[in-house]
Structure 1
Amino acid sequence: MSISATLRRSRMSIRVRLTLLLGGAVLACGSLLLATVYALMRFVPRYAVSPSVVVPRSGALSDDAVARGPTFQTTIATRDDFLNVLLQVSSVALIGLALVAFLLGWIIAGRILAPVHRIASTARTVAGDNLHERIQLDGRRDEFTELADTIDTMLDRLHTSFEAQQRFAANASHELRTPLATTRTMLQVALAHPADHELAVLAPKLLATNDRSITTVESLLALSRADHGIADPHPVDLTEVAEHALNQIRDEAATSGIGLRADLLPARVDGDQDLLHHLVINLLQNAVRHNHPGGSAHLSLATSDGTATLRVTNTGEPLPADAADRLFEAFHRHRTRTRSRGHGLGLTLVRAIADSHHGTATARPDGGLAVTVDLPVTAAADRHSS
């Protein structure tokens, strides 16, 4: 088993592992260097050593030697004596180098892992429901600062997502509770004064309130499906879907005095037919309901460069430029003189469905509201058109 595998199996901290790896690497390199020098000094040079007498360690020292302090001397009379001395001195130096290497390895490992400890500390703080905490690692640009910035970006997106989810849950609860509370109030009043309420008058009110609840729930379910993506996309005739949605909205448009126009060219996309129907019907309902009597709504569909462009415009009130994109927020209702009959999920659902089909949905206010949805066409349709 290798040293690295042994260190991974152990319970030692990363700092200890790095210290052992760094110190071990220096020790191995030093040992290899010592062995190489010893081999070169043994076999390469030719030695012509003249025996010389040097005062042995146990002999009497001269006055000069006493003055210089303790000395460690030996006699080198042969090549073996020289190689032995070289091996002893190098071994002592190698041991000292190894000790210094392990000490420096411990210090360097601590400095290297300092950003990791900061990242871990921030992660523990965020795990304790403090999503406002950020790492904000300073210093020069390296792998650790890049990791910290990436985590900070992820935390920003998570924070925004959690806040949006909380707002969505609160708004959804309100939208579902309001019709239920209205129904309960009407029933309580009818039970308290049964003689003052006729079924023919009460039933339509209850039915309308119930329809509002059903519409909200259906929109929430469709939004949930869109957010989870399309699991099994298949070719959909978007032109047929648009024509069907137009037929559904004509009676409501006629009742409101809204003129409908359509310019539909053949277009096929890969996706979910039910979700795409929700997309088109919500665009048309938005164009009809947020309009003025005698106004008009226009639906167009065309393909170009592998993209199917669905565009709906109306003659409603002009919108400020900064308010157009906010219409895609869940349960957001722009206040206009036109009374809204929606639940604030129409354009939110449109954008979610467009995203799930790898498309985009944008709103541009130009004398009313113009919403454009771009969807990629099917590969077969794209080849046929080209």
Structure 2
Amino acid sequence: MAEWFESVAEAHRRARRRLPKSVYLALVAGSERGSTLEDNIRAFGELGFAPRVADLPSERDLSTSVMGQELSLPVLASPTGVQAVHPEGEVAVARATAEAGTAIGLSAFGSRAVEDVAEANPMTFFQVYWVGDREKVLGRAQRAKAAGAKGLIVTLDWCFATGRDWGSPPIPEKLDLRTKLGFAPQGLLRPRWLRGFLRHGLPDLTTPNMVPRGEEAPTFFGAYGQWMFTPPPTWEDIAWLREQWGGPFMVKGITHPADARRARDIGATAISVSNHGGNNLDSTPATIRLLPAIVEAVGDDIEVLLDGGVRRGSDVVKALALGARAVLIGRAYLWGLAAEGQAGVRNVLDVLRNGIDSSLLALGRSSVHDLSPEDLIVPPDFGREIRS
């Protein structure tokens, strides 16, 4: 089919052709010079495989569980902010992930209500940043729980280092007439993207999940401004939120073994080894380099996930071989969403599923749970262990 693509790289190419320049640049951006963003991808290529050629399994099991949810493959949709790449945004992602038998993470900075997303995919994890006081943070979490969210993700890896050496794409606070006229030339150059939004309405730059249901949603930058002036949370705050939530709880943004142990000690269900896709503190090593030391620090006491740089099924297998339970993807599914909407997200997940299955076959492993460091060739200088 003409709409089908065989790789995440092809989804990326199509997204670039179909998105207005400023929207595309916002997707591919990394902080400062982008060294962390580049290392997230490059590091996977430094890991080799040790394949086998006989007595290979005729069937392979890709299923796993994350925060109490049974998944058909070890890949989840990571929470990302306002998804102006497609009119249906997070709802299209929710439908696609539900079709694929996996979970979606919905950002509190997302553009679609948690009630709509959870209805489209019952395996919804709701993500919060520490914005406002304890009661405001808890209010968002309680709204998500009432909507049916199965787990809470608190994201901590953000220090507002958003400067980029090559310049940042302009993101408007609201789409008033002046803003629309300013962006019109970009939209006219991408008629398919423009037709979709004219049919369904222009991108919603508000954040409906930042307030109780029924209240007027703040703009993205209004919520962001409140976040900037909120004191960073303490581990005591995070422990309090976990207790108040009372269900599966993930701490996202771990790169330091000491933080992994603190997350474990407060009773978190899971952690995600993450550097915010290269959008936090630049020069932080790739997450796959840091993963082994973090797995060693917390052992089997907590579920360890990884995000950052995953573009192929073989990348997923490498992360699992080094101790991750599953991975979260961000840009990969957003490119699929931009390319073909809901079908494009499902396409990306199918590409990754096929790549995982092929890698398991070549390695002689019948299950993702059988993978180990013995399946990899790891260069002596690959890891980046942080002393703690």
Please indicate the TM-score interval, normalised by the length of the shorter structure: under 0.3
Length-normalised TM-score, structure 2: 0.21
Question: Which protein, 1 or 2, shows the higher relative CO under an 8 Å CA cutoff with sep ≥ 6?
Answer: 2
> Which has a greater percent of helix?
1
